[in-house]
Structure 1
Amino acid sequence: MAINPSMDAPPAVKAPLGLPLLTYIQQDPLGAASHFQRRLGDVARLNILFRRIYYFFSPEAARQILVDHQADFTREARLLKIFESFQGKNVLTTEGADWERQRRILAPGFSPKRISGYINLMRAAIHDSVREELPAVRGGSAIVDVDALTTCITMDVILRTLFSQPTTRTEANRVSTAIRALTRQSMREVFWAFIPPEWMPYPGRAEKRKHLRVINTLIATQVDARKSGVTSSGSSQDVLEMLLAARDDQPTSASATLTSKEIHDNCVLLFSAGFDTASSALTWWIGLMATHPEVVARLRDEIGAASAGASPIESVARLPYLNATIKEAMRLYPPSTALFTRVALRDVVIGDTPVKKGTLVVIPIWHLHRDPRSFDEPGAFRPERFMPGAPAIPRSAYLAFGAGPHFCLGQHFATIEMALIAAHIVQNFDLSMEDGAVLPEPVVDIALKPKTPLRVRFTRR
């Protein structure tokens, strides 16, 4: 078998050590997985560098791995170690009892009730960012790089909800640049033959340390100020205050509260995971709105008819079509498409496939979301799929936020954040693309991003 990113022919699966396959997966993870599925079916068995790697393309298998047999699998230790090198030991990079304890402590802080307390901070950040980045005068118009715009808005939301403080454009850009550089470096390290110790010179080490200083200094400054009693107005409602006050409701011999290091490390996680996922989803959502004006018109009718007396979180929840458009955008363009993997802790059978202990299993979300067996016309943008009363979607066919015990802890936070941003945009702007323009090809760049700039005209209403 031969594999070539630009052809329907792959380098041989039986090539020495499988190195051509590894290169192909690194360069084009979506294309490689598509080729494996076409040639090998719902289970693609590969051997790369003496390791068994299985791709499972059915929602039934995904559910068995993530839910039914979740105790038989673990997240890959090597991958966790790579991300730990810049995020520290947080609820993403730990496993076992440490992960369970941190998750218990953090979960109440991301409940719908607690997130309702963050909404005013979110709204202030959205208002300020949009005012600075987009035309402010009615009829004013500008063509905007959408990814750059959503990066600014979502980073402002994270900084405001974490620390209650407005941020400068320079600081927001510096933080988002640092986070993306660190995550890209981690993605490169995933494909290295071994993980170098911190003291050893390696490609990207100096830049990595520089960007880490940016993040660590910002967080340490905010935490020290809060602990010393120097707080901002409204800080009792922000995420940092939640991290400082959170307690374990099932205390063991370990600390019942987060340590100073755990607070710091989970702040890094919120930066790295909290803004880029929402930014990616909103980038594609805006592009889809610019190419579907009939959807925008329906959204405006729904927003206008929303109950004026409802609380902020209730008003968002009462916009089913708005939330359906976001879910459908995340189906077509799931922010997390690569490295959704598990390792078998023991021999197990998934469907009819025996999986030996130590096998790395890959769940290709992009392909699950576009499988015609689960979604009619899978390439079409049809928000109605997610409306109340629509036909049920097969379990685990839609995994925008994962499934099982490791589902995204910030799912509700991200959902509310994206809905608030989306509603603000359609209420205040008309969106259009240049004549003949189409949505760019997607590429895996940490999250799923446009391969070429997605440029949309924003006209103030």
Structure 2
Amino acid sequence: MNGSTEINAEYRPSLPLGLSWLNEIKRDPLAAASELHRRYGDVATLNILFRRICYFFTPEAARQILVDHHADFVREARLLRIFASFQGDNALTTEGTDWERQRRILAPGFTPKRVAGYTQLMHAAIQDCVADVLPTSPGSSAVVDADGLTTRITMDVILRTLFSSPMTKQDAAQLSIAIRALTRQSMREVYWPFVAPDWLPYPGRTSKLTHRRTIQALIETHINARTASNAVPREEQDVLDMLLSAKDEASGNHQNALSAREIRDNCVLLFAAGFDTASSALCWWMGLIATRPDVVDALRAELADTDFAASGIEQIVRAPYLNATIKEAMRLYPPSAALFTRVAQRDCVIADTTVTKGTLVVIPIWQLHRDARSFPAPLEFRPERFMPNADPIPRSAYMPFGAGPHFCLGQHFALIEMALVAAYLIKHIDFALPPGAKLPDPTVDVALKPKTPLLVQVTRRETPS
């Protein structure tokens, strides 16, 4: 029914209070949602520990929840508190008027025009990182972990665009380890019965606090250096400059700018969400590309006359087929597959189903993106679905960055970043899966990651320019 035929789990005998389903969701949320869809159809309702939960499996229902009836729903407070416990109070973890204010302040800094101003910083980070971690001699090869490679590249891009200056390999690795450890800890805490305060001993507490201090200390060092009275004036702005100067023009009070703590906490958000989402999408893109030499040939034909000078970058980020391959990779492997949940603030009707106040609604992006009713041959990698002349995709059937007021603020940043990384790799590297290898199963780790290493053989095509 939903086009996802690779998951067909055997479920254990029923436990009281919905605990069987809770165990299955915790073990594998993608498989559990597929089983719910198979058993109950486009609306699956269950009760777990006295909590009513509704899964909606159609694009129409997803749009009603996120767009048409968005005022009837809020993001789950418990989930926001879990993320706030390591990210602080930023544009992801706040709600209500505080979220609205931060969103208004930040939005102008992430418009396509503003993000285009960061492309030279992005390119410099990509070029330096690829030269540092991949083979440099034409014809030389190595087998790499795609997730590790794309994590390193996107971390360098975030650091360069945020602070302008490159970071040592050791510092970048330390940050990456800290972010990954914190996101995994967050996923553990999602299934705990309550949100543990910092003072309470709990599994993972010491590591969590240590990694949080690591990230905050690095960010505060850069902020303090930038705001020091003897700081050298800068001609080109980076993301930190934007955060420091951003104003809420609609507000006439003293809160029309971000506080020092809000600047720090939104920098943490950029690390946590910005690099991990893009690295996940690019990891799966690499694996898919490695299986399709015909797609690689088409990409190289499209990019044959481009370079990475300022004019060439503009051409790259607008390349139709390049962007189609990235969008199709995000359809098959949506990076934020676990974050599309809302809580009903009042009784309402969604897809002819009564949703009572307090109900947790789940929009299973994995299943929406792999539904044969919206995407013929849904398990096949077909970039042509997203070409300008393709048949239109049903509204809200595809939304890797969400929809409605809470759509991802960094969408344009991520798309431009991924296009530049993908184009650079296509230009300089040949890809292949090792003999006998196939793409691993995914696992939900906030971002969608390979359950086992996604190994790709990379071969340098030419001497780096």
Q: Please state which band the TM-score falls in when normalised by the shorter chain.
A: over 0.9
Residue of structure 1 in register with 2:51 after alignment: 51
Q: Please give the alpha-carbon distance, in whole angstroms, between the structure 1 residues aligned to 2:373 and 2:288.
A: 23
- 1:142-186 deviations in Å (ceiling 9; x for gaps): 111111100100000001111011111110110011011111111
Please say if 1:21 is aligned against 2:21. Answer: yes
- Partner residue in 2 for 1:90: 90
Q: Which residue of structure 2 aligns with residue 240 of structure 1?
A: 240
Please say if 1:8 is aligned against 2:26. Answer: no
SS of residue matched to 2:78: helix
Deviation at 1:266, TM superposition (A): 0.1
What amino acid does structure 2 have at the position aligned with 1:9? Y
The answer to whether the 8 A contact 1:87-1:269 is kept is yes
* Structure 1 residue 223 corresponds to structure 2 residue 246: no
Residues 201, 318 of structure 1: CA spacing in aligned structure 2 closer, same or farther, 3 A cutoff?
closer
The residue that corresponds to 2:183 in the other structure is 183
The equivalent residue for 1:404 is 404
1:254 deviates by 5.3
Q: Which amino acid is the alignment partner of residue 91 of structure 2?
A: V
- Give 1:30 shift: 0.4
Distance 2:349 2:263 in 1: 39
Tell whether the 8 Å contact from 2:109 to 2:115 is kept in structure 1 after alignment. Answer: yes
Identical amino acids, percent of aligned pairs: 65
Partner residue in 1 for 2:296 = 296
Q: Cα deviations across residues 277-308 of structure 1 (Å, max 9, x unaligned)?
A: 00000001011111000100110010014599
After the TM superposition, which of the residue ranges 262-271 and 18-27 deviates more from structure 2?
A: 18-27
CA contact 2:313–2:420 (8 Å) conserved in 1: no
Change (3 A) 1:232 1:360: farther
Q: 1:236 Cα deviation (Å)?
A: 3.8
When residues 220 and 6 of structure 1 are mapped into structure 2, their CA distance, relative to the original with a 3 A threshold, is: same
> Can you list the C-alpha shifts for 1:252-289, whole angstroms capped at 9, x where unaligned?
54511100010000000000000000000000101111
Encode CA deviations 1:214-237: one digit per residue, 9 max, x unaligned: 001001100000000565796741
Whether contact under 8 Å (1:11, 1:21) holds in the other structure is: no
- In structure 2, the CA distance between the partners of 1:362 and 1:232, relative to structure 1 (3 Å rule), is farther
**Structure 1 partner of 2:134:** 134
Distance in 1, matches of 2:309 and 2:254, equals 45
2:66 match: 66
**Structure 1 residue matching 2:304: 3-state secondary structure:** helix
For residues 282 and 309 of structure 2, the distance between their equivalents in structure 1, rounded to whole angstroms, comes to 27
Greater relative CO (CA pairs within 8 A, separation 6+): 2
Conserved 8 A contact 1:164-1:234: no
CA distance in 2, matches of 1:385, 1:272: 30
RMSD value, Cα:
1.7
2:361 maps to 1:357: no
Give the match for residue 433 of structure 1: 433
Paired residue type of 2:303: I
What residue number does 2:171 align with?
171
Q: Deviations over 1:53-82 (max 9, x none)?
A: 000000000000000000000000111111
User: Secondary structure, in 3 states, of the residue corresponding to 1:237?
Assistant: coil
Match of 2:211 in 1: 211
The equivalent of 1:374 in structure 2 is: 374
Q: Size of the alignment, in residue pairs?
A: 455
Partner SS for 2:448 = strand
- What is the distance in 1 between the residues matched to 2:367 and 2:212? 34
1:211-360 equivalent positions in 2, closer than 5 A = 211-229=211-229, 236-253=236-253, 255-306=255-306, 311-312=311-312, 314-360=314-360
Equivalent pair of 2:306/2:312 in contact (CA under 8 Å): no
Pick which of 301-310 and 171-180 moved more.
Answer: 301-310
Gaps of at least 5 residues in structure 2 are: 1-6
The 1-side partners of 2:210 and 2:410 are apart by 28
Contact 2:57 / 2:363 at 8 angstroms: preserved in 1?
yes
Aligned structure 1 segments of 4 or more residues deviating by more than 6 angstroms: 307-310
Amino acid aligned to 2:264: H
Whole-Å Cα distance in 2 between the matches of residues 251 and 167 of structure 1?
37
1:445 alignment counterpart: 445
CA distance, structure 1, for counterparts of residue 309 and residue 259 of structure 2: 41
Structure 1: gaps (5+ residues): none
Q: Return the letter of the residue paired with 1:263.
A: I
Q: Secondary structure at 2:303's aligned position in 1? A: helix
Give the whole-Å Cα distance in 2 for the aligned partners of 1:233 and 1:98.
31
Q: Is the 8 A contact 1:105 1:247 kept in 2?
A: yes
Distance of 1:272 and 1:308 partners within structure 2: 28
Mapped partners of 2:131, 2:232: distance in 1? 22
Amino acid at match of 2:321: Y
SS state at 1:46 partner: strand
Superposed CA offset, 1:298-333 (max 9, x none) = 100100145999735531243100000000000001
